[in-house]
Structure 1
Amino acid sequence: MRQAMSVSSQAQTIPRTMAAMQLTGHGGVDKLVYREDVATPRPGPGEVLVRVTATAKNNTDRKAREGLYPTKEKGDVTSFQIGGAPTLTFPRIQGADVAGRVVAVGEGVDANRIGERGLLDFNLYPDERRDLNLAPDYYGHGADGGFAEYVAVPSAQFHCVDNPALADAQLASMGMCSYQTALHMLTSAKVKAGEHILVSGASGGVGSALIQLCRILGAIPYALSQPDKAQALRELGAAAVLDRSDMAGFTDRVRELTGGKPIDAVMDLLGGEMTDHFIDSMIFDMPQRSSYPRLSIAGASSGNESEIMWTRIYLYQVQIFGVSHGTREEAEQLIEWIRDGQLKPVLHAAFKLSELHQAEDYFVNRSSNFLGKIVIVPDAQWSEHGAPFALPVSA
């Protein structure tokens, strides 16, 4: 039995040790080690201690584990280090999109927060600016995250969401890693109501968030995905779904869907050779446009290098926006939309924390019917928060 420790301003005793999945180095899933004797964190000044009930899995977990964030040398095995120095040290507990309950508070935090259910703004902000985030890092990379039973985070970034219509696993699936990235892609490109927006990688976490956010902003989203996901994406809000497995005649198909109008802005999560097709969809009739073509990029699942003629960029005045994380203001706006029920969870399935290896394999080798987020639930919380969303036995 775990020993309990006393934490100031708490409603219950907290165990001295906890279960957690630790990343022990760059490499395969064998670098993820499940332990039940990890020291439970204590909340520092201005922090809350959260008992984790669910944490969404993101593609960045895999990319960080495999060291797939090179910014200069192609063959580098490296972590996300935009601040100038690596912050991923081992062992590290990954998991950015954390939902749970406050069980203790640190100095300076109102004890009335104990018992609150909330969702974490996953950013490790470099400063206090609310509208700018120039050196982003995140929980699960530069600090321990939610693939554990407990996590200590800033009180101001753990936002109360008490909407009873949302289960904890559903709340985690709406985490900031996907939704804030999606919103920042749209705000960077200054997307406005009535515009035609192409969303690539539409069935993933960021893509499905983009479709919903376009509708909130009044824009018209067109999804690029597999045909067997078309119905679900249309139900989510896509005006139409284009088949990503058949890019021949892509621009002609866009013309048909938009009534002959070019795409106003592309939200690109694919990269690779797809990027040139996306530019084509925006520039085929420049005099008809009312704004510059805009390309927001926040992923490269189809390839980290795109071959593009620069004359196509500067002669057609294509504006390109690189997006990783968003801002405090955007996070707070998303929380309001979640509380109001304007954003809907797109949850695919839940896995036990001890089965994270299987979840990683399923995520990488997922079948064509995969849509939405995978959520990881601590074993101790499984019966209440995970089991209702487990994969069918035949999956």
Structure 2
Amino acid sequence: MTVHTLASNTRIPDTLIPKTMKAMVLTGHGGIDKLQYQDVPTPAPGPGEVLVQVTATAKNNTDRKAREGLYPTRKGETTSFRMGGKTTFTFPRIQGADVVGRVAAVGEGVSEHRLGERGLLDFNLYANDRRDINLTPDYYGHGADGGYAEYVAVPSDQFHAVPNPELADAELAAMGMCSYQTALHMLTSAQVRAGERVLVTGASGGVGTALIQLCRIFGAIPYALSQADKADALVALGAEAVLDRGNMDTFVERLKAVTGNRPLDAVMDLVGGEMTDRFIDAMIFDMNARSTYPRLSIAGASGGNISEILWTRIYLYQVQIFGVSHGTREEAEKLVQWIRNGQLRPVLHGAFRLSELHAAERYFMNRGSGYLGKIVIVPDAQWPEHGQPYAVEKH
């Protein structure tokens, strides 16, 4: 049975919700061959839940890393993380964390007034009701099925209404919590404040572009580390200056040239590897010019999972290091408010059909100089309205 795209505040009759749906199902750890396009049962919303008809889901690098087992917590381990003490990433699993869609059905205890509501999912699987801390991070698409499907059932209080007509569904998905909440938690963990100089590494990706925008909301001054050909776009987004990552041997000297010989106050590190030591250099070269401790927030390791750093440099210069994964309920709600108010803007690279997720994965891994922002995945039935206008032309 075909389910047509909903207009805002339009209810889908229960008879039009199909018993099965299309989904991209991950069948095990490995390559993209483990992703299989299948018919699976349509979920039903439980008490306190809503059933969302998915219109767009942003692709995150965490999808690939979880699929390939690249979240070790011990050396030599090939697995996904299990902060809560047990493995929740089991198979079959439907990935996709940053879900946008419309409420198609409600579970017990949820008002029918929410039917037809367009919204964005707070992607976290919270272990408890605490609003200020999230010690055992897990998320939809990892510990529970996510949005690479036509429907997903999620807690009603984590599906936040964003009616903004100026934002297309694909654009809203590009502002999903996986990137923006991680970025916000990096800044709040390091207690970044107005006027501080902040380096954003991996600046052209989802978390990087979110960090640049959030720094400006905080009143901080973001400096971006990226490829030279992305400089104009990153400056337009809010970066004070863009440093070419192609030659890290001269990084500190080039940084001094754009900061007026002043050290960075904090670094938001998404790269890791041998670059981390350079980032510390950029914070400690003139301790007399500082008024706060050097701070390093780490939420990625795209340049390598192991960094060799002298511990004397850490404790003698009093470098504060913050490991950041997911954020909190409070931060999610703050982000939604900024989106509703128009204080954040989407950085959407393009869209792929759900059935073309293999092509999207290859494109993402081989992305070239023109890549900036997020890719979104749109169910095939929703493609004409929500995907086609943003289609990536070259697969």
Q: TM-score range by the shorter chain?
A: over 0.9
Q: Please state whether the residue corresponding to 1:248 is helix, strand or coil.
A: helix
Q: 2: distance between equivalents of 1:88 and 1:298?
A: 20
Q: Note if 1:63 corresponds to 2:60.
A: no
| Correspondence for 2:375 | 374
Q: Please state whether the residue corresponding to 2:248 is helix, strand or coil.
A: coil
**Structure 2 residue identity aligned to 1:365:** N
| Correspondence for 1:6 | none
**Structure 1 residue identity aligned to 2:36:** V
| Correspondence for 2:8 | none
Q: Note if 1:237 corresponds to 2:248.
A: no
The superposition leaves residues 373-394 of structure 1 with CA deviations (integer Å, 9 ceiling, x where unpaired) of: 00000000000000000013x5
> Alpha-carbon deviation of 1:10?
6.3
> Alpha-carbon deviation of 1:80?
1.9
| Correspondence for 1:144 | 145
| Correspondence for 2:6 | none
Q: 2: distance between equivalents of 1:86 and 1:58?
A: 20
Cα RMSD for the two superposed structures: 1.2
Give the counterpart of 1:47 among 46, 49, 57: 49
| Contact 2:213–2:237 (8 Å) recurs in 1 | yes
| Contact 1:96–1:146 (8 Å) recurs in 2 | yes
Q: 2: distance between equivalents of 1:11 and 1:194?
A: 53
Q: 1: distance between equivalents of 2:73 and 2:369?
A: 31
Pairing 1:177-196 to 2, within 5 Å after superposition? 177-196=178-197
* TM-score under structure 1 length normalisation: 0.97
Residues 100 and 2 of structure 1: is their aligned pair in 2 closer, same or farther, counting only changes over 3 Å?
closer
The superposition leaves residues 338-382 of structure 1 with CA deviations (integer Å, 9 ceiling, x where unpaired) of: 001100000001000000000000001111110000000000000
| Correspondence for 1:76 | 77
| Contact 2:44–2:51 (8 Å) recurs in 1 | yes
| Contact 1:2–1:16 (8 Å) recurs in 2 | no
| Correspondence for 1:33 | 36
* TM-score under structure 2 length normalisation: 0.97
> Alpha-carbon deviation of 1:76?
1.6
The superposition leaves residues 122-171 of structure 1 with CA deviations (integer Å, 9 ceiling, x where unpaired) of: 00001100000000100000000000000000000000000000000000
The superposition leaves residues 75-128 of structure 1 with CA deviations (integer Å, 9 ceiling, x where unpaired) of: 221012111110011000000000000010000000000000000000000110
Q: Please state whether the residue corresponding to 2:149 is helix, strand or coil.
A: coil
Q: 2: distance between equivalents of 1:369 and 1:330?
A: 31
Q: 2: distance between equivalents of 1:388 and 1:105?
A: 30
**Structure 1 residue identity aligned to 2:43:** P
Q: Share of identical aligned residues, percent?
A: 75
Q: After the TM superposition, which of the residue ranges 317-326 and 253-262 deviates more from structure 2? A: 253-262
Count matched residues: 387
Pairing 1:1-395 to 2, within 5 Å after superposition? 1=1, 11-13=13-15, 14-35=17-38, 37-72=39-74, 74-392=75-393, 394=394
Q: 2: distance between equivalents of 1:367 and 1:253?
A: 24
| Correspondence for 2:7 | none
Could you tell me which runs of 5 or more consecutive residues in structure 2 were left unpaired when the two chains were aligned: 4-10
Q: Please state whether the residue corresponding to 1:321 is helix, strand or coil.
A: strand
Q: 2: distance between equivalents of 1:210 and 1:107?
A: 38
Could you tell me which runs of 5 or more consecutive residues in structure 1 were left unpaired when the two chains were aligned: 4-8
| Contact 1:11–1:114 (8 Å) recurs in 2 | no
The superposition leaves residues 312-334 of structure 1 with CA deviations (integer Å, 9 ceiling, x where unpaired) of: 00000000000000000000000
> Alpha-carbon deviation of 1:12?
3.9
| Contact 2:193–2:219 (8 Å) recurs in 1 | yes
| Contact 1:10–1:105 (8 Å) recurs in 2 | no
| Contact 1:205–1:373 (8 Å) recurs in 2 | yes
The superposition leaves residues 197-244 of structure 1 with CA deviations (integer Å, 9 ceiling, x where unpaired) of: 000000000000000000011000000000000000000000000011
> Alpha-carbon deviation of 1:294?
0.1
| Contact 2:21–2:149 (8 Å) recurs in 1 | yes
Q: 2: distance between equivalents of 1:249 and 1:38?
A: 53
**Structure 2 residue identity aligned to 1:179:** Y
Q: After the TM superposition, which of the residue ranges 76-85 and 351-360 deviates more from structure 2? A: 76-85
Q: 1: distance between equivalents of 2:289 and 2:217?
A: 25
